[in-house]
Amino acid sequence: MNLPNRGVSCLEQDKEIGLKALKAQGFFMSMWEPLSRIVGGRDALEGEWPWQVSLHFAGAAYCGASVISKDWLVSAAHCFQGSKLGDPRAWRAHLGMRTQGRARLVAAVRRIVVHEYYDSRTYDYDIALLQLGQPWPDALSHVVQPVCLPPASQRARRGLRCWVTGWGQRQEAGERHDPPAPILQKAEVEIIDQTLCHSTYGIITARMFCAGLMSGKRDGCKGDSGGPLSCQSNANGKWFLTGIVSWGYGCGRPNFPGVYTRVSNFAPWIHKYVPSIL
């Protein structure tokens, strides 16, 4: 089995166990608005992005998230605006899933922590943490793994090629209705120069960056915000959660890349709630 994107996750001790288990089971491996449906992507392999989570609100897929520990996820703050969306009892986290409706684990959410400085007008500080009702079991380590968190010193450098993943519409809504994709989609994008990002949107803060293709064609889109932008280290093969899908203008439009939350800026804040993360 060939899993070109797996690399090494942050639970290195479970990686070989997970790959062997996958082999044994026969798997192949418009407006300013929140984003994250994948435009210009292709089907992901089974177990290829084991930190990817689908968050369901009141029984329907609503946002994405990433596994960062045995019982904590990270997502976008704007997913939880309002009293109803802020109620953890209404949410379920679908883990270990490639195809919607076929999650290996559907977990209750115990707690939602939205960043105290989140600004709903500008999407600044667009980050939130979710604590699961109980840790995911070790038996699922072949399909569920945490992604590494980048240290504060690790910057998203211009030209770095990374992957955005999620379920849903594969083109911007228009005359033809495009239903959400049932299979997890992946699209390779690159980090855009911060000066260019700022000149494009004008309201880019130090906690945001742009990624995509200036020619368009590959991007996140509406409906699954909070999902990961994953970048692999050339030094050790580990995958890092460099960005969280946040907002943008349309989907896959030329000269309008997607805007992401810069996760490295929030390492101390995350560690305050999840001190077990290395």
Please name which of 237, 231, 238 lies closest in space to residue 211, comparing C-alpha atoms.
231
Catalytic residue check, 75: no
Report the pLDDT averaged over residues 153-177: 74
Instruction: Please tell me the predicted confidence (pLDDT) of residue 155.
Output: 82
Select which of 14, 71, 126, 224 is catalytic: 126
Q: How many CB atoms lie within 10 A of CB 191?
A: 24
User: CA dihedral in degrees (56, 228, 83, 97; nearest 10)?
Assistant: 10
pLDDT over threshold 60, residue 72: yes
* pLDDT band (50, 70, 90) for residue 179: low
Catalytic residue check, 78: yes
Provide the CATH number for the domain formed by 161-264 in this structure.
2.40.10.10
Question: DSSP label at 39?
Answer: B
DSSP string, 169-218: -SS--SSS--PPPSBPEEEEEEEPPHHHHHHHHS---TTEEEEE-TT-S-
Catalytic residue check, 225: yes
Instruction: Please tell me the predicted confidence (pLDDT) of residue 243.
Output: 97
pLDDT over threshold 70, residue 120: yes
CATH of 12-28+50-146+267-273, one of 3.30.465.10, 2.40.10.10, 1.10.150.120, 3.40.50.10150: 2.40.10.10
Question: pLDDT: is 83 or 54 the higher one?
Answer: 54
Q: Do 12-28+50-146+267-273 and 161-264 have matching folds?
A: yes
Question: pLDDT: is 165 or 11 the higher one?
Answer: 165
Instruction: Please tell me the predicted confidence (pLDDT) of residue 16.
Output: 39
**Whole-number Å distance between alpha carbons of 59 and 214:** 36
Q: Is 166 left (phi over 0), alpha (psi -120 to 50) or beta?
A: left
Name the residue ranges covered by the structural domains of the chain.
12-28+50-146+267-273, 161-264
Report the pLDDT averaged over residues 29-55: 72
Instruction: Please tell me the predicted confidence (pLDDT) of residue 115.
Output: 98
Report the pLDDT averaged over residues 65-84: 95
pLDDT over threshold 90, residue 1: no
Please name which of 263, 262, 258 lies closest in space to residue 35, comparing C-alpha atoms.
258
Instruction: Please tell me the predicted confidence (pLDDT) of residue 256.
Output: 86
Question: pLDDT: is 274 or 177 the higher one?
Answer: 274
Question: DSSP label at 135?
Answer: P
Structure confidence by residue, pLDDT tens digits, 196-214: 999 999 989 999 999 998 7
Cβ pair 15, 136 in contact under 8 A: no
**Residues 6 or more apart whose Cβ sits within 8 Å of residue 108:** 88, 89, 91, 92, 93, 132, 133, 134
**Whole-number Å distance between alpha carbons of 88 and 73:** 13
Question: pLDDT: is 82 or 124 the higher one?
Answer: 124
Select which of 78, 94, 115, 142 is catalytic: 78
Write down the H helix ranges in 60-205.
Answer: 194-201
Instruction: Please tell me the predicted confidence (pLDDT) of residue 169.
Output: 55
Cβ pair 92, 107 in contact under 8 A: yes
Select which of 225, 230, 246, 264 is catalytic: 225
Question: DSSP label at 44?
Answer: P
- Mean pLDDT across the chain: 83
